[in-house]
């Protein structure tokens, strides 16, 4: 397994690093480090403008095939792009769900007409997407979806009724991809369809959910007679499960590797805070910080190994279960970092800052509170362990009532 970069890859690293240095200046300089989990409300309009600036210079959808508007970068060049973007503290991009999930899904499963309609607008950051998967009774158990869709009497539209929850950025998006039950009486993963639904219509009610961190990037979305064109179903009607699972396969792609760069910066910040507060003199705390540093390097190496296995076409446990293992490892690591940050900050960590707002958290308090969700969203720890046990190791399925 060769994890080294070629001369061509290194030249590409210089190219993207130089471009970011030249462009994250002037009006864009204030956006460095803005946004991200728990902070998606920060300077949204400005980050949208920055994303369109990226698009104008060919830096969106870099891994997509050239014929679909991308750059056609190799797997390792995509890794380099995301690493350098994170190192430059580029602002959190507003188009992640469209660029990393919806676009690749349409390229893999969509019709030429659907691709022509939506892909150029994703590349140009003209339309943003939300994910309509989870429901109050179908979170980790996605196959329990109860949202229903039926064809209108004239057969020209789907009519949708139901509720989705934890719908990221639905209040800022124009479209949502929805898993809905289109075959009455069907159960589990049978009879589901993958629909593309406009959010700006009377039949859609988006209600933001306020979080502990003060933001509202997640939403409840209620569909009451909402409509979308009959041809906006991806894949076959009633066979949306493979499409839905295919999209989740894109969810833990190369962009997630850049998390380790952000995490390294957060860890360095906690170390600096420990030096300022004197907590660094505590040998137990120093040991925890050293352990976090070593664990992060192992996490990054494992992620690279998993990507290498996928690129090589390996179907081994390392390759097949790499996404679930990586999710388990980084989510729990990030929670431990948040706990150490609170320990380093000491009693001050219990108080919000004095400001014009009654609930103003510093970055370490936000880190601690938002990281509590890391082991839940994107597939809970329990679900990831079941996937590894049943699908990778071949163990008997967990008993279900």
Residues 6+ apart with CB under 8 A from 385: 324, 328
Q: Indicate the Cα dihedral angle 307, 310, 314, 315, nearest 10°.
A: 110
Residues 6+ apart with CB under 8 A from 86: 258, 259, 261, 262, 265
- Collapse the DSSP code of 316 into the 3-class scheme (helix H, G, I; strand E, B; otherwise coil) and give the result: coil
d(CA 193, CA 183): 9
What are residue 159's DSSP bridge partners? 150, 227
Q: Is residue 251 flagged as an active site residue?
A: yes
**Contact assessment for residue 275 and residue 286, using Cβ atoms and an 8 Å cutoff:** no
d(CA 326, CA 178): 26
- Collapse the DSSP code of 393 into the 3-class scheme (helix H, G, I; strand E, B; otherwise coil) and give the result: coil
Q: Which of 83, 135, 217, 251 is catalytic?
A: 251
For the four alpha carbons of 291, 296, 297 and 302, in that order, the dihedral sign comes to positive
Give the count of beta carbons closer than 10 Å to the beta carbon of residue 98. Answer: 28
Per-residue exposure over 274-286, b if at least 16 CB sit within 10 Å of its own CB, e if not: beeeebbeeeebe
Catalytic residue IDs: 251
């Amino acid at each position: 397994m060769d994890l080294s970069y070629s001369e061509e890859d290194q030249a590409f690293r210089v190219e993207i690093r130089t471009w970011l240095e030249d462009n994250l200046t002037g009006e864009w300089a204030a956006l460095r480090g803005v946004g991200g989990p728990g902070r998606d409300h920060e300077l949204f309009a400005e980050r949208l403008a920055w994303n369109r600036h990226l698009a104008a210079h060919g830096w969106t959808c870099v891994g997509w095939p050239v014929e679909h508007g991308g750059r056609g970068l190799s797997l390792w060049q995509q890794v380099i792009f995301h690493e350098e973007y994170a190192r430059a503290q580029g602002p959190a991009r507003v188009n992640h769900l469209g660029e990393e999930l919806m676009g690749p899904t349409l390229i893999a499963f969509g019709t030429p007409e659907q691709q022509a309609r939506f892909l150029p607008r994703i590349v140009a950051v003209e339309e943003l997407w939300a994910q309509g998967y989870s429901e109050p009774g179908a979170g980790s158990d996605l196959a329990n979806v109860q949202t229903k869709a039926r064809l209108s009497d004239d057969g020209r539209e789907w009519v949708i009724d139901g509720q989705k929850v934890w719908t990221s950025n639905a209040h800022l998006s124009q479209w949502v991809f929805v898993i809905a039950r289109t075959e009455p009486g069907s159960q589990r993963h049978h009879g589901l369809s993958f629909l593309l639904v406009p959010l700006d219509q009377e039949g859609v009610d988006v209600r933001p959910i306020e979080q502990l961190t003060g933001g509202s990037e997640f939403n409840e979305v209620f569909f009451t007679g909402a409509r979308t064109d009959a041809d906006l179903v991806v894949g076959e009607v009633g066979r949306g499960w493979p499409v839905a699972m295919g999209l989740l396969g894109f969810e833990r792609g190369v962009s997630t590797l850049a998390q380790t760069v952000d995490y390294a910066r957060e860890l360095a910040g906690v170390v600096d805070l420990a030096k300022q507060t004197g907590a660094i003199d505590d040998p137990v705390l120093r040991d925890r910080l050293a352990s976090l540093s070593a664990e992060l390097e192992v996490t990054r190496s494992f992620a690279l190994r998993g990507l290498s296995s996928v690129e090589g076409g390996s179907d081994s446990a390392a390759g097949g279960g790499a996404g679930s293992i990586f999710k388990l490892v980084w989510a729990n690591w990030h929670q431990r970092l948040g706990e150490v940050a609170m320990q380093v900050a000491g009693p001050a960590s219990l108080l919000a800052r004095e400001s014009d707002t009654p609930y103003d958290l510093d970055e370490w308090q936000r880190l601690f509170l938002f990281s509590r969700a890391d082991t839940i969203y994107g597939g809970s720890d329990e679900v990831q362990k079941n996937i590894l046990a049943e699908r990778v190791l071949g163990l008997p399925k967990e008993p279900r009532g």
